[in-house]
């Protein structure tokens, strides 16, 4: 950064990994080797990119900050197996970037401010990415991997569990970053299911998300109140869900059963 007169962007949530042991650990946990196809979103100054490239894997490194892209290219210039792409992970056409080859693995130190939408977007729109190993804020990691009945379980947890299985696989202290963040980070492994958790004909994903969002929008209330006007009163019994339950108590199958009994157009918020 000093050499190129660069400063981390707060607007882009930039915290660069500056510890070789941490990037080595990420590569090992991701199981990357010379047979892997890896996409990295938010490559930054290239410390993780370089570690990935040195395994011999095919690597596509995506960076949105145009000031960092030339620096990133110079850092990974020794790796002929690394391709740098200037682009936004929230708008990137993954099919165009990754092509027809499968499977791909997403390995990334995701910017704190866009970590959750990027993970969800990959699950929804990039089926060629079969697994992820991402470093995110610990609170975000816990939400991504949360199970029903836990405090961290929320709407995003349901979405992740619909598509994949997720687990927190390690902690990362603030001391490995420049600049140092005020929070701890964690590593999350996400492995896509061969088929979604709900049968395709049971309920549409869009309707599932709408009902889940409505339920968690008032998570302290019982479902008969938080879903009033969204789910018919007799739908609870038909779905095998207690109307006195709260949103965090339902697993994906129970949310699906409720959503399947929600008339089209019933979700208005």
DSSP code of residue 195: S
107 and 76 together in one domain: yes
Q: How far apart are CA 97 and CA 100, in angstroms?
A: 9
Whole-number Cα distances in Å, 84 to 53, 70, 151: 11, 9, 39
Q: List b or e across 160-172, with b for residues whose CB sees 16 or more CB atoms inside 10 angstroms.
A: bbbbbebebbbeb
Number of domains in the chain: 2
Whole-number Cα distances in Å, 221 to 151, 216, 228, 249: 14, 9, 11, 12
148 and 85 together in one domain: yes
**pLDDT score at 155:** 97
At 149, which helix (H) or strand (E)?
A: none
**pLDDT score at 268:** 43
CATH number for position 225: 1.10.8.100
Whole-number Cα distances in Å, 113 to 11, 62, 136: 9, 16, 10
28 and 99 together in one domain: yes
* Full residue range of the structural domain in which residue 109 is found: 16-192
95 and 125 together in one domain: yes
**pLDDT score at 265:** 56
226 and 97 together in one domain: no
CATH number for position 104: 3.40.50.150
46 and 95 together in one domain: yes
Phi and psi torsions of 58, nearest 5°: -80, 120
140 and 243 together in one domain: no
Give the residue from 226, 196, 225, 222 showing the smallest Cα distance to 213: 226
Q: Which of 192, 214, 241 is the last residue of a domain?
A: 192
Residues of the chain with pLDDT under 50: 268-269
178 and 221 together in one domain: no
């Amino acid at each position: 950064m000093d050499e190129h007169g660069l400063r981390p962007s707060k607007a882009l949530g930039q915290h660069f990994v500056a510890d070789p042991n941490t990037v080595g650990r990420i590569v090992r946990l991701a199981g990357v080797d010379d047979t892997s196809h890896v996409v990295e979103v938010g490559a930054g100054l290239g410390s993780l990119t370089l570690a990935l490239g040195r395994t011999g894997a095919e690597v596509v490194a995506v960076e949105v900050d145009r000031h960092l892209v030339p620096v990133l290219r110079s850092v990974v210039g020794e790796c002929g197996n690394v391709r740098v792409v200037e682009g936004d992970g929230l708008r990137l056409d993954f099919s165009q970037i990754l092509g027809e080859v499968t499977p791909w693995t997403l390995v990334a130190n995701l910017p704190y401010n866009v970590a959750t939408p990027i993970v969800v977007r990959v699950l929804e729109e990039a089926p060629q990415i079969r697994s992820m190993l991402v470093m995110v804020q610990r609170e975000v990691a816990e939400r991504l991997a949360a199970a029903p009945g836990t405090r961290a379980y929320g709407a995003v947890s349901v979405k992740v569990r619909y598509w994949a299985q997720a687990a927190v696989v390690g902690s990362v202290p603030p001391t490995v970053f420049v600049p140092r963040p005020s929070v701890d980070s964690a590593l999350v492994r996400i492995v896509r299911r061969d088929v979604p958790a709900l049968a395709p004909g049971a309920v549409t994903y869009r309707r599932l998300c709408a009902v889940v969002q409505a339920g968690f929008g008032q998570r302290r209330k019982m479902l008969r109140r938080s879903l009033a006007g969204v789910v018919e009163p007799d739908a609870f019994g038909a779905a095998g869900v207690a109307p006195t339950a709260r949103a965090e108590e339902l697993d994906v199958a129970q949310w699906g059963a409720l959503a399947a009994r929600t008339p089209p157009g019933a979700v208005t918020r």
